[in-house]
Structure 1
């Protein structure tokens, strides 16, 4: 993996994991309701569950791409279209609403299992494999998985901690809008090296 592709993967993973989505909104609510310590199983389910999903998807996708090379181009086009749409949605996202009341945070297994039904997780996994495991070998797949573990630690910690500060964040919705617009621009910028190397 070249330095440019590695750098783009890091940005892609950080933008994908840090921007609002089902996981992050649930972590925000969990942090607000239960705090960081009680939310650790929920966080670990995402940190380990999503990269495990990427690994499984990558193994299957790699075999399909070897069998049908045109599928790679179709997946690349689909990933780019989705990321453009996602960037638009992120840039125009409204501040999150109040967290619903829960009796307890998600467990490790509930959180890890949720990755398999989370549309954003599926799209990020397919996009990451399609765009950044271009060599279609195990080493490239492990780079993607490793970067997502690291990004997961950062994003889950950040969103759960922000949950504890939810009231303060809701008083300043302009800051969240600015953050969302910056994330959308970074998401678009992260696609450039992958498209140039395709």
Structure 2
């Protein structure tokens, strides 16, 4: 692999990871409400979930499309339904700050599972692999995943940092409820944009 290809893969990973999407929005919302530790646990789960998905797609993309051509659309619809459900939960949240109660806080497992149901993650994986390693050689898939891992985690951690800053401003439950409703609408809107 050439240096220019590695740099190009890195820039793709950065753009795909840092751009707004369902996981980014929940990283911001969760950290604003529950703090840094919860936010970082969630993004760590989301990062490992994404890398597992990326490797799965990288090692099976060609075969998956040949044997099950409908799978991509089915996963997209399942993911959109899940994200709409999360949007509803966020929209209905009462906005009460419960820093010491992490019962409903986004967890490592939530982050991991969410990536497998996230249409943006599937599209980023498939388009990145198809564009940069069309032959899907195992060693190239591993290199790309190795590039993606730290970039994905750091990009999501930036959203956590933004959430911490935003959380400082939204200290009343009225302001938190407003932020949650706004983020819920953005999350739902991101689902509809995937359909266009």
Moved over 3 A (4+): 62-65, 100-104, 167-170
Q: Under a length normalisation based on structure 2, what TM-score does the superposition of the two structures give?
A: 0.64
Aligned to 1:21: 21
Separation in 2, partners of 1:156, 1:22: 11
Deviation at residue 168 of structure 1 after TM alignment: 8.2
Aligned to 1:8: 8
Aligned to 1:133: 133
Aligned to 2:114: 114
Q: Is the 8 A contact 1:17 1:155 kept in 2?
A: yes
Aligned to 1:94: none
Residue-pair matches, total? 143
Q: Is the 8 A contact 2:31 2:167 kept in 1?
A: no
Q: Is the 8 A contact 1:28 1:160 kept in 2?
A: yes
Aligned-residue CA RMSD (Å): 3.0
Aligned to 1:30: 30
Separation in 2, partners of 1:17, 1:169: 26
Question: Could you list the per-position Cα deviations for residues 59-80 of structure 1 after superposition, in whole angstroms to 9, with x for gaps in the alignment?
Answer: 1114458x79xx9xxxxxxxxx
Question: Could you list the per-position Cα deviations for residues 122-152 of structure 1 after superposition, in whole angstroms to 9, with x for gaps in the alignment?
Answer: 1001011101123421111001111111112
SS at match of 2:35: helix
Deviation at residue 167 of structure 1 after TM alignment: 6.5
Deviation at residue 169 of structure 1 after TM alignment: 9.3
SS at match of 1:165: helix
Aligned to 1:55: 55
Q: Under a length normalisation based on structure 1, what TM-score does the superposition of the two structures give?
A: 0.63
Question: Could you list the per-position Cα deviations for residues 138-173 of structure 1 after superposition, in whole angstroms to 9, with x for gaps in the alignment?
Answer: 111001111111112211211101101126899xxx
Structure 1 runs not aligned, ≥5 long: 72-97, 171-198
Alignment of 1:168-179 (within 5 A): none
Deviation at residue 105 of structure 1 after TM alignment: 2.1
